[in-house]
Amino acid sequence: MRKPLIAGNWKLNKGGKDAVQLSRNIKEGVRDINNVDVLICPPFTALMRVYETIKDSSVKLGAQNCFYEMEGAYTGEISPLFLIDVGCEYVIMGHSERRQYFAETEDIIGMKLKSAVSVGLNAILCAGEKLEERENGKAFDVVKRQLEGSLSDIPEDYIQKITIAYEPVWAIGTGRTCEPDVANKMHRFIRNWIGEKFGNKSAEKIRILYGGSIKPHNISSLIEKEDIDGGLVGGASIKANSFLEIIIAASKRTRY
């Protein structure tokens, strides 16, 4: 059975000293929880101090992005090796905000993903359709295109280091969560796609997270669904109380 993963994507928040307090509160709050993996992804500038805060705990550290080159003349970019150096185990890739505001294409995301996994990072690949795409019946086509675009030429054994996050764009930051059954259908579709491409064993093992307006009151119904293995949480992850409530609710999942 896949162990649930609850990941906090802090986005452009808590990049300074606040990050220490938030990560300390999370660390203390999850001390007795061992049936859920917990990951926090602060901005780059807070990674070192957050690592120092959580290194003696079960909380894992991730970044929100990285570049595909390891080093060189790329002003302003961050190498996957630098992430390893500051204690990251995970990196988020292809978030819709990066696709939308920073023009990241499937090719770029695929290159970043390959690079990150090649140095030992776990990558969380985000995929999800926009509202008009869902309304036009294109949701499955869009997600398939995103998966194919970023995963089609990765080495087979890389799949073990990959988590998928289904994040319908219309549910991100809107308070409008995807219905658990609707989300689960997409998760099943993603798992089937992984099965066709990488084999059934990989499909059974891979964790597929849901993301989009996860709150303490809706996580339980999502995580009870067969193919929803956790959550990628935005707004509710930058307050210790709400993030901890989500983790505690996930730890009470009844399906095992």
**Contact footprint for ligand 13P (CB under 6 A):** 9, 95, 167, 172-173, 211-214, 232-236
Q: 19 or 222: whose CB is closer to ligand 13P? A: 222
Integer Cα distance of 70 and 119 in angstroms? 9
Contact of 68 with 108, CB cutoff 8 Å: yes
- Per residue, the 3-state secondary structure of 87-115, as one string, reads CCCEEEECCHHHHHHCCCCHHHHHHHHHH
Smallest separation (angstroms) from ligand 13P to the CB of 175: 8
Integer Cα distance of 244 and 242 in angstroms? 5
Residues acting as catalytic residues: 95, 167
Q: 127 or 198: whose CB is closer to ligand 13P? A: 127
Q: Tokens 């319908």 sit at which residue? A: 168
Q: Which residue is nearest to ligand 13P (CB)?
A: 234
Q: 147 or 178: whose CB is closer to ligand 13P? A: 178
Smallest separation (angstroms) from ligand 13P to the CB of 211: 4
Smallest separation (angstroms) from ligand 13P to the CB of 223: 15
Which H/E stretch holds residue 191?
helix 180-198
Q: DSSP letters along 158-221, please? A: GGGGEEEEE--GGGTTTS-PPPHHHHHHHHHHHHHHHHHHH-HHHHHH--EEEESS--TTTHHH
Q: Roughly how many angstroms between the first and final C-alpha of the chain, as a whole number?
A: 6
Contact of 94 with 126, CB cutoff 8 Å: yes
Smallest separation (angstroms) from ligand 13P to the CB of 124: 9
Q: 93 or 172: whose CB is closer to ligand 13P? A: 172
Tell me the two tokens of residue 1: 């059975």
Q: 42 or 198: whose CB is closer to ligand 13P? A: 42
Smallest separation (angstroms) from ligand 13P to the CB of 66: 16
